[in-house]
Structure formats: C-alpha cells, structure tokens
Amino acid sequence: MVIEKSNDYTIRAKTGWTRDGGIDSGWWVGYVESRENTYFFATRISKKRSELNPNFGQCRKTITKTILKQIKAI
C-alpha cells in the first residue's frame, strides 16, 4: 500500500497490532523507493496493556520515519 509519495520517494508499508499475554505489540513494515536506492524497514514496539499511552499506535510510524530521515532515505 502506498502510504506516502513525493517527487523524491515513495513509502509502501503496512501496520499491524496484536494483544497477547497482557502485552500490546505494534509494528510497521515496508520499504522506501527513491531514485538512488530502496530501503526496507521493520519496526516493532511493545508495552504492557496496563500502561496507558494514547500515542502508542502512532509511535511505530514516528520512530521509523525519524530514522529514515536520519539516514536520508526520505
């Protein structure tokens, strides 16, 4: 699925989430295509379900995009 597209790159990715044994686990996997290269990524985060974090669902994307910017993939 195309998540984001610009003149310089395209991000194709899919999120996922599971709850098991009192733990929330979220992930974001995909790849970035640019003119120069293709970058694959897989980010997985987890937390105890008892810990409230309204940003947990967005964290996996925020973390991944921060790193992709640091390595100049996007």
Of 36, 34, 33, 60, nearest to 46 (Cα)?
60
HEC secondary structure over 3-46: EEECCCEEEEEEEEEEEECCEEEEEEEEEEEECCCEEEEEEEEE
Provide the domain count of the chain. Answer: 1
Range of the domain at 20: 2-70
- Residue-wise pLDDT tens digits, 1-57: 999 999 999 999 999 999 999 999 999 999 999 999 999 999 999 999 999 999 999
What does the angle CA 28 – CA 69 – CA 56 come to, to the nearest 5 degrees?
35
Given its phi and psi angles, is residue 25 left (phi above 0), alpha (psi -120 to 50 degrees) or beta? beta
- Residue-wise pLDDT tens digits, 47-64: 999 999 999 999 999 999
Please give the pLDDT value at position 15. Answer: 97
